[in-house]
Structure 1
């Protein structure tokens, strides 16, 4: 039985279709006071797969409600987008490690033999907070394959900073093309410039690749700079299209040619599905 969380209903359906398993009927609504209501309306076996991204506090609450319904059963829990993962360090006294808190809260509901899967989580060390077996799946090859299908002119894959270099290099290697990252240079207290570290992008199609697009501010700046420096067309690839507020408007105003993202979060730009990746992990 596959249960799709409130923000992963389409992805849950895709996983169920690939595995040829039943998809549970669930109800997600609210009480008059705004509290979340969750009901699994289908009968289920002892082994259940839950696919539930947690982009909001409400999604986390409803995931915990699902897990409470399934208490005592072996669960394969897939959290494609793991909320609060970026809060994995303390930068000031009194700050919580929210990523740890989320992992511990979820783990408390999991019975013996359960497993946890995430996809390109912010930092894999977060998985150490689970008592159960936890594995991070990599969707970057799926994005690379999608980029490979595009009609690009002398393409180069660029990461927006050093943090995403590994992903950019792996995708570029898979496609047999160049990769680089944007290096920031501070000229004064208020003036900062960015440019590719080594590669001249003039006259070339550029794909900026990162694990997540949130507000779009940094990406929009990178797109504008690359275009000003002579890049032919600039595309944006991301595993997790968070895209809060006016992020898409910022990116379009900056001149992005297209945004390519996976369906770990179900947005209009989520054209690459991770359902096959999840199904393969569950089979193995």
Structure 2
């Protein structure tokens, strides 16, 4: 996806607000650098060190006074270190007299813990939101929460970006006659996203109905729609171990799908995910760069992995937040 940043640069140059400062934690510096390249501003200088007792210390190497500070940090492995580092960076920025601090969390992994679906467990999505606010975050910028209600866990403003446009354009670029294909939602929870992408592609829509066997196990029960002889586009919010993906692809293939393309927002790829994808009867599995995907994983996937760039979306959202303009207009 190509998004011109000239208008963003003009707005930034005309703004008389606090200086725009963008910093990055250690989880996804390439994305933070790409965001800064789109904004036309340098990535801020900060340093994070770990003591021998595993404690972290964060140090900013430039003035933040009255600055409009954006800190980019995905909650990817090691997740606990990423969260702790972000909280320390927020707290240090507030202590350094930053005018406003926005936590840019491209991947908010704890959004999967959005309800109490077992006895005596924590709703961790809400707890982490409380911790970020306690650290001093004035605003949150994130993308594709696993459950939309997590948005309501925050008492500070939240800008929730969508990767639907990027995924749709990717499918259209891969398959010229994408409108003749079918967008397949792997479960009922992803039907809304699949429907939006199907409208963008002007394509068909299908959904897999799943049966829950236990708190941790589900299985496909039926497919609602028709995929026989068609190119199938599977969309979801994330891929972790790829177990559900394997079931979805195999079901689509078993019902006569001609080609299968997969695109998700967050490519976490943990455990046996890469081995499963490499052996899967699928043309391509694409994810955005909200989570850093190593070159080793790309090579080990037999060339099936692709990474899509969402830094222009984050750059434009940051520019709009900084200048006080609407973020929702980026998607209309």
Does TM, scored on the shorter chain, surpass 0.5?
Answer: yes
- Partners of 1:97 and 1:216 lie apart in 2 by 24
Distance 1:93 1:195, change over 3 A: closer
- The residue aligned with 2:318 is 282
Q: Does 1:208 align with 2:234?
A: yes
Q: Does 1:35 align with 2:62?
A: no
Distance 1:53 1:197, change over 3 A: same
| Pairing of 1:72-87 with structure 2 (within 5 A) | 72-73=97-98, 74-87=100-113
The unaligned stretches of length 5 or more in structure 1 are: none
- The residue aligned with 1:236 is 262
Contact 2:111–2:150 (Cα < 8 Å) also in 1: yes
Displacement of 1:186: 8.9
Q: Give the SS at the match of 1:234.
A: strand
Q: Give the SS at the match of 2:142.
A: strand
Give the CA RMSD over aligned residues: 2.2
Displacement of 1:271: 1.9
Displacement of 1:236: 1.2
Q: Deviations over 1:183-209 (max 9, x none)?
A: 23699xx9955443021x122211110
Q: Does 1:51 align with 2:77?
A: no
Give the helix-richer structure, 1 or 2. Answer: 2
Among 82, 86, 103, the alignment partner of 1:63 is 86
Give the TM-score normalised by the residue count of structure 1: 0.90
Displacement of 1:110: 2.5
- Partners of 1:178 and 1:92 lie apart in 2 by 36
Tell which deviates more after alignment, 267-276 or 213-222: 267-276
- Partners of 1:25 and 1:164 lie apart in 2 by 39
Distance 1:191 1:215, change over 3 A: closer
Moved over 6 A (4+): none
The unaligned stretches of length 5 or more in structure 2 are: 1-20, 299-304, 321-332
- The residue aligned with 1:123 is 147
| Pairing of 1:160-175 with structure 2 (within 5 A) | 160-175=186-201
Distance 1:193 1:277, change over 3 A: closer
